Structure 1
Amino acid sequence: MEMVVKNSNTFKAQKLRPVAMAMTMAFSVLLTGCKSEAEVEVSKPVVRPVFVEVVSNVQVADLSFSGTISSASRADLSFRTSGRVVDMLVKEGDQVEEGQLIAKLDSADAEIALTSAQVELNNARSEYQRAKTLFEQRQSISKSQFEELTLRFNLAQNQHAEALRRLDDTNLRAPFSGVVSRTLIDNHVLVQSNEVVASLHDLSQLDVTIHVPESVMTRNTEATQIFAQSPIAPYEKLSLTLKKYETEPDPVTGTYAVTFAVDSKEGSRLLPGMNVQVYSSGQKGETTAIQVPLSAVVPDNMGNQYVWVVDGQNTLSKRTVFTGSLNGERVQVSNLQLGEKVVVSGTQKLQEGIAVRPQVAEAY
C-alpha cells in the first residue's frame, strides 16, 4: 500500500515539473522585455544646446587676409636616367648657381657607350668623305653605294649624340640659381629615373597668395597700397604687386586665389611656407565683410581652420574658412553665407552630423 502512495506522489511531481518550467521561462521573458524597454529609454540621443551667432555683414574700411609665402621659382630635381649615386655635392641650405652640379651617377657604362659611338662615327665619317669624293668625280662608286654610306654616317651621328646625352644625364645640374630646400638621397643609393633627389627654391623672387571671397573679387576698389606684415618682423611693411588671380573659385571654400609679388629686397628674410597678413588700404569708401567671434574658429591638425555651421534641421556640419584681419575679439572670415548660424561656444567638443538646439548668443 505504501508503495502505491509513493508512486502516486512521484507521478504528481512529474506532472507539475513542466508547468513550473513554463512559468520560469515566461517570467524570464517578461524580465528581458522590461530590460530592453529600459535600455531603449537610456539610449535616446540627447539634443545638445549650443550658442550660435547669425552671420551678417559689417562695414570695414581696410581689408586684410591671411597669406602664405611661396617662391616664384621652385623645382623638384631628378635624374632622367636610373643609376647609383656616386657624389651628392650639396646639402640643405646651400646656395647654388644656375648650371651648378648637384649630384652625379656612376657614368662608367655611359662612357663606354660614348667611346664606341665615337669610333663608329669616325669610321663612318671617313668612308662617307671618301665615297663623296669618288661620287663627285664620277669614279668607281654607284649612287646607291654612296647613299648607303651617307645613311650610315647619319646614323652614326645620331648614335653619338644619343651617347653624349646619356652621359650628360648622369649629371644633375641646377636649372636656376637658388637655395637647396631639401635633399632626399645620400651617396651610393640606387635611384630611378624621375625620382626626386633634391628641391630648389629661388628666394630672390617670392610670392604671397591669399584667398578672398566673391564680395571682394566683384568690388571695384581703388587701393593705393597693398602690403604684407610677417610675425617675424611685425613693424616692417612689405610692398606687394598684383601678379595674377584665379577666375574660378575653390570648390570647397568658394574663394578665389590671388597672388602678389614681394619686392626681392624687402622679402629677403622670408621663407616659403611662412604666414603673413596682407592688407589693402587707401580705398575710396568702405566695403562689407563677414566677421565672427574668435572662439568660433577652430584649427585642425592639417593647418586649416573651420567653423561649425547649424543647418535648417539643426544639424552640425564642419565648414573650412580663411581668416583675415582681427577686430578686437572678432576675426574676418570667408566661405560663409549671410543668415547662416555659426556655433560660438564649446566648439572643441562637437561632432559632425549631431543634432543640436541652437540658442542665439547675446552680444557675443
Structure 2
Amino acid sequence: MKKSIRLILTVITILVLAGIIALPKIKKAFKSGDEGKLRASTMMRGGAGQPTFASGYVIVPTNMNELIYSTGSLIPDEEVDLSFETSGKVVGIYFSEGRRVKNGDLLAKINDKPLQAQLLKLQAQKKLTEEREFRQRQLLDRDAISRESYDQVATELQSLEADIQLLEARIDETELRAPFDGIVGLRMISEGAYATTQTKIVRLVKISPLKIEFSIPERYAGEVSPGFPISFVLDGEPKAFTANVYAVDPKVDIDTRTITVRAMYPNNNEELKPGRFASVRARLSQIENTISIPTQAVIPEMEGEKVFVYRKGRAEEIRIKIGLRTESHIQVREGLQFGDTLLTTAILQLRQGISVQLDTLVTNQIQ
C-alpha cells in the first residue's frame, strides 16, 4: 500500500515539473498565433503593412442626359371596321383582301333596285311638275292666274325635289365606300349574304404614318409637349427609329400615375406594322460640365450617401449630395471636385484612412 502511494506521488511530481518546464513554450506558441491573426486582419483591412488594391476614377467635367425609358405600342394612324348604313342583300364585293384602296373607292354594294325604281318614278313626276310650274309662271306674269295657284305648283315641285334627294341618300347608303386611303384586311361576309348595320364587312387600316403610344411618369408632365423628339426600337430590328410627340393626354391615369403620350412616325415605306411592341426612349434635358460617377461607387447609408476618394495613398470618406440618375451613373451636386480620384472597387474593404494602392486608373468619359 505504501509503495503504491509513493508511486502515485512520484508520477504527480514528474508531471508538475514537466508542466513548469513546458509553460514558457506554450505561452510563446499562443503569442505567435495571435500575432499571425493580427497580421492577417491588418492585411484584410489594408493596414500600413499591406495596402488594399482598388481602381481609381479621375473625375472630369462631363455632360449627362436625363432620359425616360418606357414601353409602348405601334398603332395605325386610322383604323375602322366598315359596315353598311342600311340593311339588305349584298350583291357585290369589289375589293381584294389585303390590297390598297383609295378614299371613295366602292368596296361593297347592297341591292337597291326597289329604291332605283322609286327614284325613276319621282324623277318622272318632277319633269311633269317642272313643266306645269313653267306654264303657271308664264300665266302669272300676264296676271292670268292668282299667286296662290302658282305657289301650289311651286311647292309641289320643291317637295318632289326633296323626296328625290332623300331617295338618293338612301341609295348612297347601299354603297360601302372607303372613308380614307389605306389597306383593307380580311372580308367577313360573302356575296349573297344579308347584311345589317351591325354586320362588319371589312377592316380598313392606314399605316402611313404610324402612331407610337406610350406612358411617362406624372412628374414629367410639364416637360413633354407636342414636337418633343423620341426614339424607339423594335424586337428584331437592328436600328432605332425616331418620331415626334404630337399629343399628350391632359389627365393622369389614377391607377398607374402615368400620362399617355402619342408620337408620330412617318413610316413612308410602310416597313413597320401596327400592333408591334416598342421600347421608347425620350431625352428630357442635358446637363453640361457636371460631375457624374459610377453607380457602384456610391454607398447608401441612413445619414445619406458617401464615397471614398484616393488622397496621398489613403482612402478618405466623403459625404455627397446626388442629383440626376441614369442607368449607370449618378450626378454629384456636392462633396466632390473635378480632379478627385474616386475609388470604385473594393468598396466593402475601404475604411477611413487605410492604405490604398491603385491597380487601375480611368478617366470619366460619359457624354
- TM-score under structure 2 normalisation? 0.57
Amino acid of the residue matched to residue 177 of structure 1?
Answer: D
Deviations 1:199-245 (A, max 9, x none): 21111121100011212224579x98511111131x22221011100
2:232 aligned counterpart, secondary structure? strand
Residues 285-364 of structure 1: pairs in structure 2 closer than 5 A: 285=287
Partner in structure 2 of residue 246 of structure 1: 249
Contact 1:69 1:207 in 2 (8 A): yes
Larger Rg: 2
Shift of 1:196: 2.9
1:130 aligned counterpart, secondary structure? helix
Deviations 1:170-225 (A, max 9, x none): 1111111100134222211111125432221111121100011212224579x985
Partner in structure 2 of residue 47 of structure 1: none
Q: Does 1:214 align with 2:208?
A: no
Q: Does 1:133 align with 2:134?
A: no
2:283 paired residue among 281, 284, 287: 281
Count of matched residue positions in the alignment of Structure 1 and Structure 2: 227
Do the aligned partners of residues 85 and 271 (structure 1) sit closer, same or farther apart at CA in structure 2, a change above 3 Å counting?
same
Distance 2:216 2:141 in 1: 74
Do the aligned partners of residues 131 and 186 (structure 1) sit closer, same or farther apart at CA in structure 2, a change above 3 Å counting?
same
1:249 aligned counterpart, secondary structure? coil
Deviations 1:25-74 (A, max 9, x none): xxxxxxxxxxxxxxxxxxxxxxxxxxxxxxxxxx9842221111111222
Shift of 1:327: 6.5
Runs of 4+ in 1 over 4 A off after TM superposition: 218-221
Contact 2:71 2:278 in 1 (8 A): yes
Structure 1, unaligned stretches of length 5 or more? 1-58, 287-325, 329-364
Give the alignment's Cα RMSD to 1 decimal: 2.6
Deviations 1:242-265 (A, max 9, x none): 110011122332221100000232
Partner in structure 2 of residue 255 of structure 1: 258
Do the aligned partners of residues 151 and 225 (structure 1) sit closer, same or farther apart at CA in structure 2, a change above 3 Å counting?
closer
2:239 aligned counterpart, secondary structure? strand
1:79 aligned counterpart, secondary structure? coil
Partner in structure 2 of residue 271 of structure 1: 273
Partner in structure 2 of residue 71 of structure 1: 76
Do the aligned partners of residues 224 and 198 (structure 1) sit closer, same or farther apart at CA in structure 2, a change above 3 Å counting?
closer
Amino acid of the residue matched to residue 79 of structure 1?
Answer: F
Deviations 1:312-335 (A, max 9, x none): xxxxxxxxxxxxxx969xxxxxxx
Deviations 1:304-352 (A, max 9, x none): xxxxxxxxxxxxxxxxxxxxxx969xxxxxxxxxxxxxxxxxxxxxxxx
- TM-score under structure 1 normalisation? 0.57
Shift of 1:137: 1.8
2:136 aligned counterpart, secondary structure? helix
Contact 1:224 1:281 in 2 (8 A): no
Contact 2:97 2:185 in 1 (8 A): yes
Partner in structure 2 of residue 89 of structure 1: 94
Distance 1:98 1:232 in 2: 33
Distance 2:76 2:190 in 1: 25
Distance 2:286 2:65 in 1: 12
Shift of 1:93: 1.2
Partner in structure 2 of residue 188 of structure 1: 192
Partner in structure 2 of residue 161 of structure 1: 165
Residues 132-151 of structure 1: pairs in structure 2 closer than 5 A: 132-139=137-144, 141-151=145-155
